[in-house]
Structures are given as structure tokens and as C-alpha cells.
Chain A
Amino acid sequence: MEQPYAIEMLNITKRFPGIVANDNITIQLKKGEIHALLGENGAGKSTLMSVLFGLYQPEEGKIRKDGKDVKIENPNDANDLGIGMVHQHFKLVECFSVLDNIILGVEPNKLGFLNKAEARKKVTELSEKYGLHINPDALIEDITVGMQQRTEILKMLYRDNEILIFDEPTAVLTPQEITELMQIMKNLAAEGKSILFISHKLGEIMSVADRCSVLRKGKYIGTVNIADTSAEELSAMMVGRNVNFHVHKEEAKPGKVVLDVQNLTVASNLHKNDAVKNVSFKVREGEIVCVAGIDGNGQTELVYALTGLEAAAGGRIELLGQDITNLSIRKRNDMGISHIPEDRHKHGLVLDYSLEDNMILKRYYEPEFSGKFGIMNKANIRKYAERLIEQYDVRSGQGAATTARSMSGGNQQKAIIAREIDKNPELLIAVQPTRGLDVGAIEYIHKQLVAQRDAGKAVLLVSLELDEVMDVPDRILVMHQGEIVGEFDPKNVTQEELGLYMAGAKKDKVEA
């Protein structure tokens, strides 16, 4: 009889200090299926996949491949069994080329000499076969996250892996890239590869997965056939209650201007053209303005210039009537700018610091935390961190003392959001604040943004997510190639219309 399961993980239990990350979990992956794994932040999805990939040893339970018990002690074992993984946070060597990253560890050689030509041929074939467009000679540090991800996928295919694990692959992608990835996954499954796919986006799961298993707080809740379920049912299974997908908010009552951007120009680090070209707009108190657009159209640079991470090449930025164009980052922070950064590992956190030390990253110099002679007040720091953890429901193994690195991706994000909102800013700049969060947490963050607005603060949201763009803000600005090409009231515009502007097919003259 043919064995229907490619991989079975039976009664897996994995514990970390202070937490049971996986509590007696069983999932079975059929050959050629796309099996989604759904669960709140910190539910234990990444941990379970890391067990399968040999990064962690479970205390209990066993793993079977094609019906036979196997031991996976490290990623090499996993690779030998044909298991590959694209991690939530990519693991590529920044200063190596795409090709070098793909062949790293399995370099083809002749008499000990590297034979790159052969590798290049195989990589090119694979990339053509599955529509994974890459430039094999580009350096990782120079390419977009979408391309980095394709590199990760090619890495698995190059190793002839049959079982592919995708840990939140779409969190960092643009809608276009997501559509492409979904197609690639379908192609792979059609080829007979079996795929485990983690995502918080119910729409994606509904559109590509065959079955979905749900975890909650380390426990297994159940597995359903996608054909027999709905997004609502899935989210209820995952959070344990019904989730509101729509943001409920009153009419905005904009007041005086908080942020006034005039003819701002920012040079690009990637190409000769300016990344932001002569951009002007205003954000008033009591309103949420969203900068929408396809990734890489100058949003990142715009935010860098507003927050001071990069200098403006021209133009003027005013906060509450004061010129801040050339002020330091610290001064801008103190004047009331909060910034939820795009890249939580690069800017948002010191991963080797404890959660509490990260919570005070923007305020450590205030008298409450560092007293006479600059001596830090550990008791106050602990108290403050514990309040934020409680209030914003940041989950981790050891509370305030947990090393940030060991926290789940979504909870790292929540910690940053807690820190930035709690500073009680005049202007909150939130760049993709819900990236990697579960639907429950997204609902919560959106409520927080609206609450900030209702408290009379100005909110500048940068988002790639069309649902978020349509739902949360009071005004939408579309950016294309460094320019603002349209301004809309979300109530009077359709997603299709926005799409045309984002792609550069339509363009208005916008007055600030």
C-alpha cells in the first residue's frame, strides 16, 4: 500500500525555559499537498518547523518520513532526508553573490576545485523552470527582499529537497511578489513536492493551501480541509474568538498641521536618480495619512529623511511649525516623533539585549531610568517594562528578562510597537506596523493607531498591504518612483483604482 504521508510529526513536545513552545503536537503532511500552519504570534509554529529541520531537538515525540521513523539531529540530517526550509528571517551571507549563497555548503567541485560553471547551469535551469527570476551575480546586500527570498527557495531546490518549509514567506513581500510566490508554490506542489507553509494571512491560505493545521499557545487545535472552511472559521479557531477584520472608526476631525513636508528630495543609495523627488504633503493632528505604493518607490527613503536616519538632499521638514530638516535623531525623538521601523532586526531591536533593555531604547536617558552620574535605575526599568508587557500583551518565555533574540517574530514586533506608542508622540510614523502579526494582533494594532488619532495625534502610516491601506487611514497618498502621484479619500476609491496609480499607469497633480 502506498504511504500517503511524506512527513509525520507525532506528539511533538518542545520546551524552552519558562514556556512549552510545542505541547504534544501532531501534524501529517501528505505527498504533493500544500499544508498551511496557522497560529497566533508565539503559538510555536517556527519552533515546530525548526524541530523538523533539525535545529531543535524535541523532548518528546517522533518524526516519520514515508512511514519510517527518522532521527533529525541537525540541518544536515534534514537535508539528507530532502527537507529544506526558508526561515522567517533569512539566513543569507550578505556580502556573497546569489549564486555563492545557493551553492554554499554543497559546492560542486572537480578534484577539490570549485566548479561554478556547472552550478550556474543548474541554478539557471531551476530558475527558468519555476519562474524564479534572479541575477546570480548580484550581491545579497544589494537586492530586494523578494529576490533574497527567491534565492532561499532556489537554495532548497538546488539541494533537490522534496519537502519544503516556508516560514512566513509573504510577510516581507509586496502584493505582486506574493502573487508570484503563490504561483511558484502551486507549481512546486504540482511537481510532487510537499509544502509546509506558515502565514498569518488567511486570504493566502485560502487561495493556495489544501489543508490547514491550527496551533494555539503551543497546543494543537485541529486540521481542516480548506475546501470546507472559511477565513472567519480559521481565525476563530486560531484566536478562540471572532475577529473583526474591519476597523471601526468615527469620522476624523483633523486639527492643526503637525508634519509639514515641503519639496523634500532624498538621494538614493541604490541608483543615481533621487529616491524621493520634490515631495510635499501635510499630516494634521487627529488624522491617519497612509503612504501607499509598491515597495521600493521611495517610501523607505522618505521615512529615513523624516526620522533623521538619512539626510535630506533638498526641501524642508517642519514639525509643529519648527524646522527639523537638519536636527539630530535624538532631538526629533524628543520633539515627539515615534518611529516603528520597517526592519525590526536592523533598526528596531538590539537582539542581544533583554526585552526590558529594549523597551527603554528610546528613553534610557530620561531621569526615570538613569539618575545621578548616569547610573541606570534597574528597578524602574523593570517596572516600566513589565507594565508595557502587560498592557500590550507581549509574550515571551521569561518576561522582562528574556533575550529579545529568543522571542517569536510577532512578539518582537509588538514590543517595538509598545515602546513607540507609549512614548506618547505628537507624530507616529508606522512603517508596516503589522508585518508578521496574527489577525488578533493586527486588529489590536489598528485600534491603537485609531486611538492615537482620536487622542489628537498625527499618524503617518506606510503600508504595502492593500487591505490595510483601504481600511485604516483617513487619507491615502500614493507614491510612485519617488513622487506622490495621487491623493485619495479611502471611501471614494477602489483597490483597482489605487493599483493603477501604484503601477504608474495614472497620475494626478497633487497639491500639498
Chain B
Amino acid sequence: MKKNFLKNSIVQSILTSLICIVLGMIIGFIVLLFINPAGAAEAIISVAKNFLTYNSANMQLKYLGNTLVKTAPLLMCALSVLFSYKVGLFNIGAAGQYVVGACACLYAALAWKWSWLPCMLLAVLAGAVFGAISGILKSYFNVNEVISGIMLNWIGLYSTNMILSNVKEAASPYTYQLTAAGEQALLPTLGLGALFNKNQYVGLALPLSVLMAVLIWAILAKTKFGYELKATGFNKNAAKYSGMAEKRNIILTLVIGGALAGLGGSLLYQTGYEQWQCTHSSLPAMGFNGIAAAFLGGLNPIGTIFSSFFIQHITAGGAYVDKTMYCSQISDLISAIIVYLCGFVGFFKYAMNSRIEKSEAKAAAKEMGKEAAAENKKGGKE
């Protein structure tokens, strides 16, 4: 039987994600029109262009490299959210797990001069511990993971500020440069920087994060553990009935989610691309953007690779908006609008499905009609 092309769930996910992106752009454009109609078109184009604003191929490559450097940690946060979501948990705590990951690896690198791998593992551990706290609270005390996640986000942020103040520059709120004070902890570049016009920040992080996405996909689609997790997410009573250890699974899921986000912290800060600012009074957007990236990617680990890149692309693109026409927050505003619209993927999918259903039913009817007629001739009466 012929299948409707649009009925394919992968095609659908991609299509709905694209609709969200376009709508986000349009709404962003309208907002810009309201603020200052003269520069709106130009502004939205620079958001979309990001590194392509530069004329020379070399510069374009270099800035593409920068976008990729920040795509890796975003992908990790998105995977963290996605993985927990499959079990029916909403890991808003990814933001905090990401921060404590950053804290752990920076402190180990700057204060103890650990080399890169132990630093990274410590970040993973820190994220996992935060995840475990939420998990234990959820399964033994029935504390909603969203509530504990939000609390832990703030606890994570302020402890990080406090701890990293011990390794900050005297004259600024920033931690020491990793290139100067913790070179041994820089992630190996694997020669990848050369591909991006000697961008020294590009390295292990990118392939590692893509590898993690593939790994998560395999766990969910192919393994016993994935089967259990999805069953728990769909129907936790049936999971319990069949003897799955639901408490253990909830904790394990959040531990893994936390570890992924923690790794995200390491994958950004151990490139030396950014220093931690010890006066942060709000959480870095990375963890929250991870939520949008997970949904925009159709909650598919592989799709998430692309959605993470896209979200990072427009977030970075925001920086190129003409600041003489718009105030400096405009870049954040526009990318936030697009990211926000990305959350509507589920809604568009639903709308699309119900439209298709009608037309598809008719198509199937014709096909089946023929088959049934043929069968009737063959079968006769029973």
C-alpha cells in the first residue's frame, strides 16, 4: 500500500520544525518593525546570516567555528532534556547541572591543575550528583522534578559563583584564562581548528557531543534500558506491574541527564572560549535553550544535533544586529522569540496530523476498496 509521504513521522518532525523556524522569524521581524521599521529587514537578515555576514571565506569559517564551539554544549543540554523527557520527566534542572559541570571542571583546572580528562569527568560527576538529588527527591519523597530542578538551579549558580571566586582575576569578575593558568586542561583540538581557519577553540567537543547524540539514540531505540525507560514514560503503572524498578529508573535517568548537562559545561569552558563571570545573577541560557533544542529536534537525538546548531546559529546571529538602530538587548530578544516558537513543534505536528488524517483516509479507502473487491471474488462465501 502506498504511504502518504507526510504521514512519515521523520518527515513530519522536520517539516513542523521548519514551520516553527519560519514563523519565529516572521514574528521577530514584526517586532523589529514596531521598534524601528527602517532597519527591520536588515536586522532579521543578519540574525539569519550569522557568520555569513563576513565577506571573506576565511572569516566565515572562523566564525562558523565559534558557532560550533557553542553548539556542542547546547547539544549536551538538549540531550539531557530529551533523555529525561522520554521517561516522562521534565529536566528543567539541566541549566543548573550545566553550571555545576562548568564549576567543577574550571575549579579542578585552575586550582588543582588537573589535566583535561579528569576535569571533564569531574564535571560529569558534578552534573550527575545534581541530577541524582532531583531523582531521589522525586522517587522517594514525591517532590516534583521541576520544583527541585529550579531550586537546584539557583543553588548551583550561587555556589559556583562562590567557589570560582577563589580562582578569579583580581581586577575583574572573571575566572583566570584557561589558556594562561590552566593550559593542561584545554580539550585536545585534534587538529580540527585548522579546518576553521585556525580557530583554536574547535576540537574534541564537537565530535564528542555528536557521538553522545548517537549513543543516546542507540540506548533509547535499541536497548533493554531504553525499552524500560520509554515504557515508564508512557505508562508508569504498567512499568511497575511488569516489574521494572521505576524508582531506580527515575533516579538513573536524572543521573544520566545530569551527567550529560554537566559534560556540556565541560565542553564549553574547557575550550577556553569563555571565562566564568563570578557575578552572574542569572543562569546561562544554555540549559534553557536545551529545552527548545530538544523539542525543535522533534525529541529525536539525531534531530537534536541539527536543532542545536540552528538555535546556536541564530543566538550568535543576534550579535550582528545594528546596535545604532536597536538597543543592545535586541539580539537576545529576537533569538528568544525564535527559540520560543520552537517550543510549538508539538502543536504544529498535531494540527498537521489531523489535517492529513482526512485526506489519507480517503486515499487508503480507494486502495483498500480495490483489494477487498479482489479478495471477495477469490474468497466467495465462507
A interface residues with partner B (beta carbon < 8 Å): 13, 15, 17, 20, 23, 57, 59-60, 240, 307, 309, 328-333, 339, 341, 346-353, 357, 361-362, 364-365, 370, 373-376
Q: Which residues on the B side are within 8 Å of A328 (C-beta)?
A: 243, 245
Question: Is B245 touching A330 in the complex (CB atoms < 8 A)?
Answer: yes
* 6 cross-chain pairs, A with B, having the tightest CB-CB distances, nearest first: A330-B243, A59-B365, A370-B224, A374-B224, A347-B241, A329-B243
Question: Is A374 touching B225 in the complex (CB atoms < 8 A)?
Answer: yes
A309 to B239, CA, bound (A): 11
B interface residues with partner A (beta carbon < 8 Å): 1, 222-225, 227-228, 230-231, 234-235, 237-245, 358, 361-362, 364-365, 368-369, 372, 382
Q: Which residues on the A side are within 8 Å of B382 (C-beta)?
A: 240
Partner of B372, one of A20, A333, A341, A374: A20
Assuming the A-B contacts A352-B234, A375-B222, are A17 and B243 also in contact, with contact meaning beta carbons closer than 8 angstroms in the complex? no
Q: Which residue of the partner chain A has the closest CB to B241?
A: A347
Question: Is A350 touching B224 in the complex (CB atoms < 8 A)?
Answer: no
Question: Is A346 touching B227 in the complex (CB atoms < 8 A)?
Answer: no
Partner of A15, one of B225, B231, B244, B364: B364
Q: Which residues on the A side are within 8 Å of B239 (C-beta)?
A: 350
A441 to B241, CA, bound (A): 25
Which interface residue of B237, B239, B382 has the most chain A CB atoms within 10 A?
B237
Q: Which residues on the B side are within 8 Å of A364 (C-beta)?
A: 224, 227-228
Q: Which residues on the B side are within 8 Å of A365 (C-beta)?
A: 224
A-B contact pairs, 22 of them (CB 8 A): A13-B365, A15-B361, A59-B362, A59-B365, A59-B369, A309-B241, A328-B245, A329-B241, A332-B243, A346-B237, A346-B238, A348-B238, A349-B235, A350-B231, A350-B235, A350-B239, A352-B234, A352-B235, A362-B243, A364-B228, A374-B223, A375-B223
Question: Is B224 touching A57 in the complex (CB atoms < 8 A)?
Answer: no
A331 to B244, CA, bound (A): 11
Q: Which residues on the B side are within 8 Å of A375 (C-beta)?
A: 222-224
Q: Which residues on the A side are within 8 Å of B361 (C-beta)?
A: 15, 57, 59
* Minimal beta-carbon separation of B26 from chain A (angstroms): 30
Assuming the A-B contacts A333-B243, A374-B225, are A15 and B365 also in contact, with contact meaning beta carbons closer than 8 angstroms in the complex? yes
Q: Which residues on the B side are within 8 Å of A57 (C-beta)?
A: 358, 361
Please report the number of residue pairs spanning A and B whose Cβ atoms sit closer than 8 angstroms: 84
* Minimal beta-carbon separation of B84 from chain A (angstroms): 18
A15 to B235, CA, bound (A): 29
- The B interface, classified by DSSP as helix, strand, loop or mixed, is helix
Question: Is B241 touching A339 in the complex (CB atoms < 8 A)?
Answer: yes
A346 to B236, CA, bound (A): 9
Q: Which residues on the A side are within 8 Å of B362 (C-beta)?
A: 59
Assuming the A-B contacts A330-B243, A353-B231, A376-B223, are A361 and B238 also in contact, with contact meaning beta carbons closer than 8 angstroms in the complex? yes
Question: Is A373 touching B241 in the complex (CB atoms < 8 A)?
Answer: no
| Known A331-B243, A364-B228; 10 more pairs at CB < 8 Å | A15-B368, A309-B240, A329-B240, A329-B242, A332-B243, A347-B238, A350-B234, A374-B223, A374-B224, A376-B223
Assuming the A-B contacts A17-B364, A59-B365, A330-B245, are A349 and B224 also in contact, with contact meaning beta carbons closer than 8 angstroms in the complex? no
Question: Is B227 touching A357 in the complex (CB atoms < 8 A)?
Answer: yes
Q: Which residues on the A side are within 8 Å of B240 (C-beta)?
A: 309, 329, 347
* Minimal beta-carbon separation of A347 from chain B (angstroms): 4
Which interface residue of A17, A240, A346, A352 has the most chain B CB atoms within 10 A?
A17
Q: Which residue of the partner chain B has the closest CB to A217?
A: B382
Q: Which residues on the B side are within 8 Å of A17 (C-beta)?
A: 1, 364
A115 to B235, CA, bound (A): 37
Question: Is B234 touching A353 in the complex (CB atoms < 8 A)?
Answer: yes
Question: Is B238 touching A350 in the complex (CB atoms < 8 A)?
Answer: yes
* Minimal beta-carbon separation of B215 from chain A (angstroms): 12
A352 to B237, CA, bound (A): 13
Partner of A373, one of B223, B238, B243: B223
* Minimal beta-carbon separation of A199 from chain B (angstroms): 25
Q: Which residues on the A side are within 8 Å of B365 (C-beta)?
A: 13, 15, 59-60
Partner of B234, one of A15, A240, A339, A351: A351
A361 to B241, CA, bound (A): 9
* Minimal beta-carbon separation of B267 from chain A (angstroms): 25
Q: Which residue of the partner chain A has the closest CB to B244?
A: A330
A361 to B223, CA, bound (A): 14
Q: Which residues on the B side are within 8 Å of A309 (C-beta)?
A: 240-241
A404 to B362, CA, bound (A): 23
Question: Is B241 touching A348 in the complex (CB atoms < 8 A)?
Answer: yes
Q: Which residues on the A side are within 8 Å of B228 (C-beta)?
A: 364
A348 to B237, CA, bound (A): 9
* Minimal beta-carbon separation of A24 from chain B (angstroms): 10
A20 to B364, CA, bound (A): 11
Q: Which residues on the A side are within 8 Å of B222 (C-beta)?
A: 375-376
A59 to B368, CA, bound (A): 11
* Minimal beta-carbon separation of B109 from chain A (angstroms): 33
A176 to B223, CA, bound (A): 48
Assuming the A-B contacts A15-B361, A17-B1, are A361 and B234 also in contact, with contact meaning beta carbons closer than 8 angstroms in the complex? no
* Minimal beta-carbon separation of A279 from chain B (angstroms): 22
A346 to B237, CA, bound (A): 6
Q: Which residues on the B side are within 8 Å of A15 (C-beta)?
A: 361, 364-365, 368-369
* Minimal beta-carbon separation of B247 from chain A (angstroms): 11
Q: Which residue of the partner chain B has the closest CB to A19?
A: B368
* Minimal beta-carbon separation of B369 from chain A (angstroms): 8
A59 to B359, CA, bound (A): 11
A364 to B235, CA, bound (A): 16
A331 to B242, CA, bound (A): 11
Q: Which residue of the partner chain B has the closest CB to A357?
A: B227
Question: Is B237 touching A347 in the complex (CB atoms < 8 A)?
Answer: yes
Question: Is A349 touching B223 in the complex (CB atoms < 8 A)?
Answer: no
A370 to B369, CA, bound (A): 41
Q: Which residues on the B side are within 8 Å of A20 (C-beta)?
A: 368, 372
